[in-house]
Amino acid sequence: MESLIVVLVGILVSVGTYLILSRHMIRVIVGTAILSHAVHLLILAMGGLKKGIVPLLGQSEGEFTDALPQALILTAIVISFATTAFLLVLAYRTYKTNGTADFRELRGVSDE
Amino acid sequence: MNNLIVLPLIIPIITGIILVFLRSSIMLQRVISIITMITVSVISFLLLDIVQTEGIIRLDFSGWLPPFGILFVADSFALLLVLTASVVTTICLLYAFSTIGKDNEKMFFYPFVMFLIAGVNGSFLTGDIFNLFVCFEVMLLASYVLVAMGGKKVQLRESLKYVLINVVASWLFLVALAFLYGTVKTLNMAHIAERVAEAGQEPLLTTVAILFLLVFGLKAGLLLFFWLPGSYSVPPAAVQALFSALLTKVGIYALIRTFTLMFPLNQEITHTLIGIMAGITIIAGCLGALSGRDVYTIGTYNVIIGVGFILIGLAAGTETAMTGAVYYLMHDMVAKALLFLIIGMMVYLTDETIIKNMSGLIRNYPLFGWIYFIVLLALTGIPPLSGFVGKILIGQGALEAESYILLAIGFASSIIVLYSLLRIFLASFFGETTISFEDRKRIPKGAYSSFILLAISIVFIGVGAESLAVYVKDAVNTLINPSVYIDAVLKE
């Protein structure tokens, strides 16, 4: 199961990287969002995926689910949500003032 | 008593939230924010004093004992930086009162400065690496807003770049955290250190360490500084000063913490890498500073040189070098803040950024000119000003560690710093006066008082280095013997 998730993470990272390298603002922002999803899955996989056991010590013999990665992911999701929201607003304002959403055309716009 | 540790984080946050609701009454916002920052400075000084007598103190949130809960750890190193950061912010606020403009003040300038300082102080104090990530993000989100504040074309463009770079860096931080958690199964920094020491820092852990080096390098502007000159030259002067004084320093703090506490074992790889990166950073920064024709370029590349220089101390890693790094870190925070405040004021006075077009400022503003001269001397490292102690100790440490190349680069950079700043001095302050005495703009009183206060701090760090020595020595002791930190967190 872990290896499957890791492959998924790999696919997501490559999609995200591809999008980040493009010239269009919205694509880049979607790319960062996908990257953040990838890393959330990575954290989950790193904590170990043990199905169906309560995250408490002593409830069952031996194995228990590690609840910490989920807490970490929750925090990271909130943060990436905030950053993405801010980025979208910023991109919109940049588009409004500069009249373009293309990074290459933004280059060298001086401030008049 | 331990509860005091959380105050440098919690007071600015609460004040920030209150200030959001006081949007229209600017006067009240100013008074509350300055009182808050003075309070935080006083508290951090008190804490620093307590730590001297009681040793490292920690606060386990909601009573979860380490390594399970999140905790704040206050040692001298963290507290010295909290103190310097709070003092510098207080003074930058003084400058902002008279220069930032009503529009920005109404658009939540003060609340975001409060959130920024909360994030900065939190990053210094936290003892949990995931919490460090969270504090970083608090600081960065505030900084995103501050970079874009004003919404000019060029600001929007640069802030978009700045935000994207930092989003990717934070992503990398999470990747590094995931691998670290996967390997050592803990997030408490002291506990990580213990586990890494038990496992003997195998290659996998060294790889994770290098990932952290990249992440913090991006934040500190170590080698990966390409985003820095652009985004540091667009916001208002007070924000620039805050950024160059605080943001890169948090990255440096994180680097020092990571590689003295958590991953100190594989030094021939990690510390060599840091040394190489620091060397290249300094050389590139010098080239940038030499090529610059406007004040912003010269100023921002000087920030980069400063980052490289402090990290020579970490790369050398001896006790003397670390002492130098701590001194230089404090000096750099104060001096860079003053440098950027002055640069901002020069641009305000002349409406020019190219140094050749300013010319003759010293005739109209003699005191202003000589304060710039003090910064120049301090950044170059002339005794008895603040840069001297740090420079000499880092140099001595590099000698002890036999890294002669770094030593040569470091001291050659001093000459370049002197040259680049002297160019501003000669071109902008001396020379023919272009604006007549009657037509000159006045320097606001608030701005003047902030210059003078920062200049006094520079002289104090230089002349009073002896009185700071107690604290610095304790800070370095923790850095050199990580077991002090680990015992303080995990024992009892």
Q: Identify the pLDDT of residue B245.
A: 93
Chain A contact for B168, CB < 8 A?
A: yes
Which architecture does CATH list for A2-51+64-101? Orthogonal Bundle (1.10)
Number of other CB atoms surrounding residue B484 within 10 Å: 16
Residues of A with CB under 8 A from a CB of B: 20, 25, 28, 32, 35-36, 39-40, 42-43, 46-47, 68-69, 72, 75-76, 79, 82-83, 86-87, 90-91, 93-94, 97-98, 106, 109-112
In this structure, the number of other CB atoms found within 10 A of the CB of residue B154 comes to 17
Backbone dihedral region for residue B150 (phi beyond 0: left; psi -120 to 50: alpha; all else: beta): left
Q: What is the pLDDT of residue A57?
A: 67
- The first and second tokens of residue B418, run together, are 């002197």
Q: What is the C-alpha separation between B233 and B240, in angstroms, rounded?
A: 7
Distance from CA of A90 to the nearest CA of B (A): 7
Report yes or no on B382 lying in a domain: yes
pLDDT, tens digit, 9 for 90 and up, residues B191-214: 999 999 988 878 889 999 999 999
Which residues constitute the domain of residue B311? 266-481
pLDDT digits (tens, 9 = 90+) for B58-76: 999 988 888 888 999 999 9
- Is the minimum CB–CB distance between B130 and chain A shorter than 8 Å? yes
pLDDT at B327: 95
Instruction: Kindly state whether B354 is in contact with chain A, defined as any CB-CB distance less than 8 angstroms.
Output: no
From chain A, pick out residues whose CB is under 8 angstroms from the CB of B235.
none
Domain locations in chain A as residue ranges:
2-51+64-101
> Mutate which of A46, A70, A84 to test chain B, going by most B C-beta atoms within 10 A?
A46
- Chain B contacts of A39, Cβ < 8 Å? 171, 174-175, 178
Across the interface, of B134, B144, B181, the residue whose CB is closest to A47 is: B181
- Phi, psi dihedrals of residue B435, rounded to the nearest 5°: -105, 130
CA B491 to chain centre: 31
Mutation to test the A interface, candidates B156, B192, B204, most A Cβ within 10 Å: B156
- List, in sequence order, the alpha helices (H) in B126-152: 129-148
Q: What secondary structure letter does DSSP report for B128?
A: B
CB–CB contact B154 A109 (8 Å): yes
Backbone angles phi, psi at B23, to 5 degrees: -50, -45
Where do the H-state alpha helices sit in B22-128? 26-54, 76-99, 102-106, 109-125
Percent of chain B with pLDDT over 70: 100
* CB distance B489 to B58 below 8 Å: yes
- Kindly state the tokens that stand for B95: 């400058």
Cα-based distances in Å from B480 to B78, B184, B254, B317, B483: 14, 23, 15, 8, 9
Domain assignment present for residue B255? The answer is no
Mind listing the pLDDT tens digit for each residue in B409-421? 999 999 999 999 9
Size of the A and B interface in Cβ pairs below 8 Å: 90
In the prediction, which pLDDT does B206 show?
92
pLDDT in tens, B138-162: 999 999 999 998 888 888 888 999 9
- pLDDT over 80 (residue B360): yes
pLDDT at B26 (0 to 100): 92
B223 φψ region: left (φ > 0), alpha (ψ -120 to 50), beta (else): left
Chain B residues close to A91, C-beta within 8 Å: 160
- Which residue of chain B comes nearest to A104, CA vs CA? B157
Closest residue of A to B174, CA-based? A39
Q: Is residue B364 part of a domain?
A: yes
Token pair for B425: 């001095």
Q: Per residue in B257-311, pLDDT tens?
A: 999 999 988 888 999 999 999 999 999 999 999 998 889 999 999 999 999 999 9
**Which of B133, B137, B153 comes nearest A111 by C-beta?**
B153
Q: What are phi and psi of B59, to 5 degrees?
A: -130, 115
pLDDT in tens, B424-479: 999 988 888 877 877 888 889 999 999 999 999 999 999 988 999 999 999 999 99
Chain CA centroid to CA B5, Å: 20
Query: How far lies B197's CA from each of B150, B191, B352, B478, B484, in Å?
Result: 49, 10, 55, 16, 14
Mutation target among B133, B164, B204 for the A interface, most CBs of A within 10 A: B164
Q: Is residue B372 part of a domain?
A: yes
pLDDT score of B418 = 95
Contact status, residue B472 vs residue B80, Cβ threshold 8 Å: yes
Q: What's the full length of chain B, in residues?
A: 492
| pLDDT average, residue stretch B337-351 | 93
In a domain, B149, yes or no: no
CB-based contact, B163 to chain A, within 8 Å = yes
Residues of A in contact with B230 (CB under 8 A): none
Structure tokens at B259: 């590689």
* pLDDT value at residue B413: 94
* pLDDT value at residue A101: 84
Of A32, A72, A98, which has the smallest distance from its Cβ to B157's Cβ?
A: A98
Nearest Cα to B187, choosing from A68, A37, A55? A68
Instruction: Decide if B371 is inside a domain.
Output: yes
Q: Phi and psi dihedrals of B188, rounded to 5? A: -70, 125
With H, G, I as helix, E, B as strand and everything else as coil, classify residue B481. Answer: coil
Span B65-118, pLDDT tens digits: 888 889 999 999 999 999 999 999 999 999 999 988 888 898 899 999 999 999
**Joined tokens for residue B485:** 């930190």
Q: Residue A59: what pLDDT? A: 61
CB-based contact, B366 to chain A, within 8 Å: no
Whole-angstrom distance, CA of residue A30 vs CA of residue B417: 42
Per-residue confidence (pLDDT) for residue A58, from 0 to 100: 66
Record: contact B182-A47, CB cut-off 8 A: yes
Mean pLDDT of B120-140: 95
Tens digit of each residue's pLDDT (9 = 90 or more) over A45-101: 988 777 667 777 666 666 677 788 889 999 999 999 999 999 999 999 999 988 888
pLDDT for the residue numbered B48: 94
Of A46, A83, A111, the CB nearest to B182: A46
What tokens were used for B167? 């989003």
**Structural domain contains residue B294:** yes
The whole-number pLDDT of residue A98 equals 83
Long-range contacts of A100-105 (CB under 8 A, 24+ apart): A101/A24, A101/A25, A101/A26, A102/A23, A102/A24, A102/A25, A103/A23, A103/A24, A103/A25, A103/A28, A104/A23
Residue B470, SS3?
helix
Rounded CA-CA distance B172/B185 in Å is: 19
CB B450 within 8 A of CB B369: no
Q: Please, what is the angle between helix B109-125 and helix B248-257, to 10°?
A: 10
Q: Do A43 and B177 touch (CB under 8 A)?
A: yes
- Give dist(CA B322, CA B240) in Å, integer: 27
B174 touches chain A (CB under 8 A): yes
- How large is the average pLDDT for residues B306-322? 94
Asked if the model's pLDDT at residue B129 lies above 60, the reply is: yes
Evaluate if residue A112 carries a pLDDT over 50. no
> Do residue B144 and residue A86 have CB atoms under 8 angstroms apart?
yes
User: Which residue of A6, A13, A35 is the best one to mutate when testing the B interface, meaning the one whose CB has the most B CBs within 10 A?
Assistant: A35
Angle between the N-to-C axes of helices B129-148 and B153-184, in degrees from 0 to 180, rounded to the nearest 10: 170
| Res B337 pLDDT > 80 | yes
Mutate: best of A78, A83, A109, partner B, most B CBs <10 A: A83
**What local confidence, expressed as pLDDT, does residue B68 receive?**
84
Q: Which residue blocks in B351-403 are alpha helix, DSSP H? A: 361-364, 366-380, 386-400
Residues of chain A contacting residue B130, judged by C-beta atoms under 8 Å apart: 72, 75
Chosen for mutation from B146, B160, B166 (greatest number of chain A CBs closer than 10 Å) is: B160
Mean pLDDT value across chain B: 92
For residue A110, which amino acid is it?
Answer: S
- Taking a C-beta distance cutoff of 8 angstroms, is the pair B311, B277 a contact? yes
Q: Please judge whether B178 and A75 are an interchain contact, meaning their C-beta atoms are less than 8 angstroms apart.
A: no
The pLDDT value given to residue A111: 45
Helix (H), strand (E) counts: chain B: 22, 2
Residue B392 inside a domain? The answer is: yes
Tally the domains of chain B: 1
**Is some CB atom of chain A closer than 8 A to the CB atom of B61?**
no
* d(C-alpha B477, C-alpha A88), whole Å: 46
**CB atoms closer than 10 angstroms to residue B64:** 11
Name the residue facing A90 among B156, B170, B175 (closest C-beta): B156
Instruction: Please classify residue B198 by burial: count the beta carbons closer than 10 Å to its beta carbon, then call 0-12 exposed, 13-18 middle and 19+ buried.
Output: exposed
